Amino acid sequence: MDTQNLLSKPIWQMTGEEFLTLTKTENQNKTEKIQSESSAKANPKLVYGIRGIANLFDCSIATANRIKKSGVIDGAIFQRNRTIVVNADEALKLFNDSEKK
């Protein structure tokens, strides 16, 4: 059965089999989406140091220092002493959100 046709069909006109097929398809889609999101969160892309920030944003090291010191990407930075680790996906998201404001 074609799910597009089932989606456009009112529930009260569906047979039991059509309704179960539609719900099974939707549950599979949700499960796949959750699994892909969890795998992305489980293995974040990391960059290291100011040079890593500079490469991530394709800018100079001085500009990378300014970005870090501005606090815009603080939610993505993990720092212990002089070691800096940055979650690249989160940093890009935070940076884009800050520009929209």
Quote the pTM value: 0.57
Q: Measured in Å, how far apart are the chain's first and last C-alpha atoms?
A: 46
Q: Please, are residues 92 and 56 in contact by the beta-carbon 8 Å criterion?
A: yes
- The CA distance from 48 to 78, in Å, is 10
SS3 10: coil
Predicted local distance difference test score (pLDDT) of residue 58: 93
- Domain range annotation of the chain: 3-42, 46-100
Over the chain (101 residues), the average pLDDT of each successive run of 10 is 80 88 85 73 83 94 94 90 91 86 63
Predicted local distance difference test score (pLDDT) of residue 9: 87
Architecture of domain 46-100: Orthogonal Bundle (1.10)
Predicted local distance difference test score (pLDDT) of residue 36: 74
**Residues whose CB is less than 8 angstroms from the CB of residue 73 and which lie 6 or more positions away in sequence, other chains included:** 53, 67, 86, 90, 91, 94, 95
Predicted local distance difference test score (pLDDT) of residue 86: 93
Predicted local distance difference test score (pLDDT) of residue 32: 81
Predicted local distance difference test score (pLDDT) of residue 101: 63
